[in-house]
Amino acid sequence: MNKQEIQIKIAKAVEIVKESKPLAGSITNSVTINFVANAQLAVGGTAAMVYLPDEGETLAKLGGAMYINVGTLLPIYEDTLPHTAKVLFENQKPWVLDPVAIGIGSLRTKVLEQFKPYKPSVIRGNASEIIALAGLWNLEGGTDTSTVHGVDSTVSVRTAKSAAVALASWTGGAVAVSGEMDLITDGSTVAVSYGGSEMMTAITGSGCSLGGVMAVYASVADPFIAALSGASVYNLAGMRAEQHTDGTGSFQIAFIDELYKASAQDISMNEFTLEEV
Ligand SMILES: Nc1ncnc2c1ncn2[C@@H]1O[C@H](COP(=O)(O)OP(=O)(O)OP(=O)(O)O)[C@@H](O)[C@H]1O
Ligand SMILES: Cc1ncsc1CCO
Ligand SMILES: [Mg+2]
């Protein structure tokens, strides 16, 4: 695919979402659950958040895609998460994994290990998280020890390129590494998306909600286009929101407004470059 073909696909994905309001259910952390739902709604999707194993299964079967984020685990997730991932995989439903804060506890490690055979369609994380997940799954570019600082990355996006490519080659889907710019790969093509705002690092949940929005797009587009569409609307909305706010509280509100206002045409035209793996 050349750049223009990709731009056409992004615009189409954004339009179909706005017209059809696809459901992308979530099992996500309690810190940013509201932000995730509001971002999904702002781009035109439908949100539903659950915790219990049977409800994860129901949403997996009902929705166009699903979002799973391991940010704040509770004992129930030991049952809910692997079960839901298995149902998604067996029903060939796209799902997005956010391996937040990988490495900080034993349940988190266990659950993330269990996800490997269920091949998430999109893996979205910051650079430290992507490198650590590749390490946990014994793939190239990964490391045994996590460089995650709480929920934040300590390394640059480009450092995670080989881990991202290896993860995408394993899943057959896409991997999106977020940061100052965003790197998205399907294992053969690498796209780098530009824009955003430094203020996105000073509000919680810009990454979580980005994963939720990618799940909305994954309901109607292939994983690479879904991930790049998500990165594009985030980078565009971040740039625009920064222009008329002077603090992080109002930035978060303005950012949701800009997600809501962004047109398919503008999102598809947000700057990105293509490179070989
Ligand atoms: N320095 C930066 N400049 C511009 N945009 C940024 C910057 N850092 C992050 N972003 C944007 O913020 C969004 C979230 O990326 P980030 O890497 O902060 O995720 P994260 O660490 O998982 O966030 P969280 O865990 O708080 O949800 C992405 O859209 C990314 O492009
Ligand atoms: C701050 C925080 N802690 C656990 S999840 C989360 C949201 C950002 O990943
Ligand atoms: Mg995160």
Q: What's the CATH code of the domain at 81?
A: 3.40.1190.20
What pLDDT tens digit does each residue of the chain (277 aa) get?
A: 999 999 999 999 999 999 999 999 999 999 999 999 999 999 999 999 999 999 999 999 999 999 999 999 999 999 999 999 999 999 999 999 999 999 999 999 999 999 999 999 999 999 999 999 999 999 999 987 778 888 888 899 999 999 999 999 999 999 999 999 999 999 999 999 999 999 999 999 999 999 999 999 999 999 999 999 999 999 999 999 999 999 999 999 999 999 999 999 999 999 999 998 9
Separation of alpha carbons 166 and 99, rounded Å: 16
19-38 per-position pLDDT tens digit: 999 999 999 999 999 999 99
Ligand 3 is an ion; residues with CB less than 5 A from it: 100, 207
Does the structure's ipTM exceed the value 0.90? yes
Is the CB–ligand 2 distance for residue 100 below 6 Å?
yes
> In terms of residue numbers, what domain contains 228?
3-178+200-276
DSSP class of 102: T
Structure token pair of residue 95: 């799902």
User: What would you report as the CA-atom Rg of the chain, rounded to the nearest whole angstrom?
Assistant: 17
Cα separations (Å) of 85 from 34, 56, 59, 66, 275?
A: 22, 9, 11, 9, 31
Indicate if the alpha-carbon torsion angle 27, 29, 34, 36 is positive or negative. negative
Q: Judge whether 47 lies within some domain.
A: yes
Q: What is the pLDDT of residue 88?
A: 98
49 is in an annotated binding site: yes
Evaluate whether residue 186 is within a structural domain.
no
CB burial of 52-63 (b: ≥16 within 10 Å; e: otherwise) equals ebebbbbbbeeb
Question: For residue 27, which of 93, 110, 98, 132 has the smallest C-alpha distance?
Answer: 98
Structure tokens at 96: 């997005």
Is position 86 within any domain?
yes
**Does ligand 2 come within 6 angstroms of the Cβ of 70?**
no
214 labelled as ligand-binding?
no
For atom 25 of ligand 1, the residue with the nearest CA is 207
The reply to whether 189 falls in a domain is no
pLDDT at 154: 87
Number of independent structural domains in the chain: 1
- Specify if 192 maps to a domain: no
Sheet architecture: strand order including 46-49: 46-49, 23-27, 65-69, 95-98, 122-126, 174-178, 182-185, 189-193, 272-276
